Amino acid sequence: MTIQTLDQLLQENENLRFRLEEAEETIRALRGGEVDAVFVESGSEHIYTLESIDRPYRLLVEQMPHGAGTLTAEGAIIYGNRRFAELLGQPLVEIAGKPISSFVVPDSLSVLETLLHDGKLAEVEGEVTLQRASGGTFPVYLGVCALAEGIRGLCLVVTDLTEQRSYRELKRTQKALRESEERLASDLAAAQRLQEISCRMIQEGDVGQLYHQILDAAMGIMRSDMASMQMFVESQDALRMLAWRGFDPVFAQTFDLNRPDTRTSCSVAARAGHRVVVPDVETCDFIVGTPALEHHRESGIRAVQSTPLVSRGGRLLGMISTHWRTPHEPAERDLRLLDVLARQAADFIERAQTEKALRDADRRKDEFLATLAHELRNPLAPIRNAIEILKARSVPQQELEWSCGVLDRQVQLMGRLLEDLLDISRISLNKLELRKERVELATVLQSALETSRPVIDAHGHELSITLPTVAVYLDADPVRLAQVFANILNNAAKFTDKGGRIYLNAEPLGDEVAVSIKDNGVGIRAEMLPSIFEIFAQPERSLMRPSDGLGIGLSLVKGLVEKHGGNIQAKSDGPGEGSEFLVRLPLAGETPVPVSVSPPEDREQPALAKGRILIVDDYQDSADSLAMLLRTMGNEVETAYDGEEAIRAAAAFRPRMILLDIGMPILNGYEACRRIREQPWGREMFLIALTGWGQEQDRRRTEEAGFDLHMVKPVSAAALMELLASLSPSKPGRRRL
Amino acid sequence: MKTESHEPQSLAELSASVTGGPNAWELRLYVAGKTAKSVAAFENLTKICEEHLAGKYKIEVVDLLIHPQLAKGDQIVAIPTLVRKLPEPIRKVIGDMSNVERTLVGLQLRQAKS
């Protein structure tokens, strides 16, 4: 063997070794799955790729958006797809062989162990938190099941929940956004409703309607089942129900009047001056253990809030309450909206009250002026008639005296009216001066009785007097004080039906004396009580109204009593229940002496004659004087003083003409006219309405009642004579003067 | 597969992006289209090269699906296979080179552990 040959052998040996290594490397790579294609040369060159058959599966596993992997039964990672490696944050080569537990946060280990254990028996799934090598953690959903064939192990599917979490988060945000939008829309609706209500408050005339709208808005804002609104009545120190929503009428009865000591949220709120919220009446300290709890239950109230309605000046006007059938804690935002509503409602109530007061005052002023004109005109008719008589030549002595009496009385009456008016203005201007002296109450009352006795007797009332057994002294102006009691007594007499009872009681109480004048008359309506002493206040214009009085009497009385350092109070249980006026005056203090008062003597009323003209007027002077005047002119004249009497007189006397006053007690002029017209004998009679009211509507009413003519007082006798002369003997025509 | 803005049409195109320098290593990677192992082999190779031969290597990718006749030259049997043309002597690494250690040894960039 040559050296060259040896070298060649060595070289060949080296080549063979190299090729053997290459062959071994190839086998190793094939076994290790590191190759997926082989080159085959059989005539022509050909490449066989190993992936063609399972390519769809491989693509599916590699490209699916979930991590997928296989584990040994002990939990070591055998294989994972691309997503699996991504989720674990390391290349597949790095994670292969590592236990899956090393990629899980400690808190999730027990869950993972359970999953791996149970996964060998059945398909299980659960949530664990993975830990990346970089330190980041994220939630995943793990599906685990046993590998069905081949090596014993587990199959793992990993779903990243981060994105789902984000999705859920997004959903939650969207939901919150939608809720917030809805909230905004409801806020907007509430604001619009508030706006609408404030517009209505400016325009609305129907207050009741508006209260209901306010309550509807309150229920909308508070999402309550019921609501109520109350008005604070200062004179009663109580809340009175104005309007309610969602309750039975029983509720209004139960809670109609809430006094400060009533166990309700509204009373507590009224006392406290701020809102009171009762989330559950069953646990409310001021309701539980009192009868109020049962009242709340009966009305279906489980939760309630009461918000005071307060004027801009801080005065309590009322209360707005909302109620729930189930326990309820109102939201802060709802309460804020309610406050806006409450502000509007309070402004509205305050304005409505002011407007009503102004309207009432205005109306009373109008009525007062109308009454004043009427009262001042009334004496003019008899005065004028008396003057006519006096003007006539050869007046008989009797009629001369009578005429003088009329003039005297009527001038006195007018003087009294004017004096009263002046007194009122003096009091309101604080210019009235009292001539005070030490005076005994009994003397004052006696003086008052002397003035009032004729009026009381004229109405046929029975008067009972109870005085203290000892003398009571006052420092007072006896004339003014007598005026006070005479006024009240006159009032009692005028506002009590004929044959009534009047009680005068005086008794000392401590350093005061209380004088009560009580009757069983027409009484005073509750709503009139607070304003009865106001100037111009008078029961509404009525045909049954007594023939005199300006309606300033009580105002004058109050002014005078207060000038004396006392006070006066009016009481009545309502229409038909009588009235009581209670005057309290400070005592002068000293020397009690027994006294007694004897009622003054009765006086007779004058009576009158007959003729072919019937004159009907409850204002007797007026009727009598006109009758007398017409008699002196050669007529047959009869008089009547009320409607019923007029019908009787007309039936018996069959006059050609009847002058009928409209405002009369018992039966007014309209009704008397109607009844006379109903009679066969009454159709042809010439009926003249005689009234102090000359407005168009008064004229229309007299025409409707069947009068031929409407004349406004005072009537001129000359005009009447002309009229009589012009009447044809047959059918009288309807005319007007 | 790595996501890139521009998806290359073939691995041959990819090789164009890898440039050599002086004293360059000349490597030739035989692949069969875009089979998983072929792609993995290219990715793993470039990673290894960037790490150990940065700036001084050049990879030529030979797609045997397109040029099967080229397999003969380097006596290729299994694919993927990497052939180190330079530096001499020629070395072959067979497989996807997922085992970095073995690949480094195969390329004689590291001594085999005994």
Chain B environment of A25 (Cβ under 8 Å): 92-94, 106
Nearest to A30 among B1, B36, B78 (CB): B78
In angstroms, the CA A603 to CA A451 distance is 12
Reported as type and span, the H/E element at residue A42 is: strand A37-42
Task: State pLDDT tens for residues A372-429.
Answer: 777 777 778 888 888 888 777 677 888 888 888 888 778 777 777 777 777 777 777 7
Residue B10's pLDDT is 52
> Which has more confidence, A361 or A539?
A361
pLDDT of residue A651 exceeding 80, the answer is yes
Q: Does B33 touch chain A (CB under 8 A)?
A: yes
pLDDT, residue A541, reads 40
Query: Per-residue pLDDT averaged across A577-606, rounded?
Result: 61
- Distance between CA atoms of residues A472 and A491, nearest Å: 25
Q: Do A49 and B35 touch (CB under 8 A)?
A: yes
> pLDDT digit string (tens) for A74-108?
888 888 888 888 888 887 777 888 888 888 998 88
pTM as predicted: 0.38
- Lowest model confidence (mean pLDDT) among A141-155, A650-664, B46-60: A141-155
Residues B18-67: tens digit of each pLDDT? 554 555 788 899 988 888 788 888 988 888 888 888 888 888 888 888 88
Across the A:B interface, residue pairs with CB atoms under 8 Å apart total 85
Average pLDDT rounded to a whole number, residues A7-25: 86
Q: pLDDT value at position A595?
A: 42
Q: Which residues of A touch B82 (CB under 8 A)?
A: none
Q: What percent of chain A has pLDDT over 90?
A: 15
Question: Residues A438, A476: contact at Cβ < 8 Å?
Answer: no
Confidence label for A646 from pLDDT (cuts 50, 70 and 90) = very high
Structure tokens that stand for A586 in this block: 């400070």
CB A227 within 8 A of CB A246: yes
Per-residue pLDDT at A538? 52
Average pLDDT over residues A502-522: 91
For A356, other C-beta atoms within 10 Å of its C-beta total: 11
| Share of chain B residues as helix, strand and coil, in percent rounded to the nearest 5 | 30, 25, 45
| Window 87-146 of A, Cβ < 8 Å to B | 92-93
B35 touches chain A (CB under 8 A): yes
- Contact between residue A111 and residue A128 where contact means Cβ atoms under 8 Å apart: yes
Instruction: Look at residue A187 and give its three-state secondary structure.
Output: helix
Phi (first) and psi of residue A635, to 5 degrees: -95, 160
Q: For the residues A153-157, what does the mean pLDDT come to?
A: 86
Dump pLDDT digits (tens) for A393-403. 677 888 888 88
Return the pLDDT at A323.
94
For A321-370, how does the pLDDT look when each residue is reduced to its tens digit (9 = 90+)? 999 999 999 998 888 888 988 988 888 888 888 888 888 778 777 777 77
pLDDT tens-place string over residues A18-57? 888 888 888 888 777 788 888 877 777 777 776 655 667 7
ipTM over 0.90: no
Handedness of CA A549, A551, A554, A560 (dihedral sign): negative
Closest CB from B35, B68, B72 relative to A51: B35
What integer pLDDT is reported at residue A51 of this predicted model? Answer: 61
pLDDT band per the 50, 70, 90 thresholds, residue A535: low
The pLDDT, as a whole number, for residue A205 is 61
- Predicted confidence at residue A592, as pLDDT, reads 44
DSSP 8-state assignment for residue A432: -
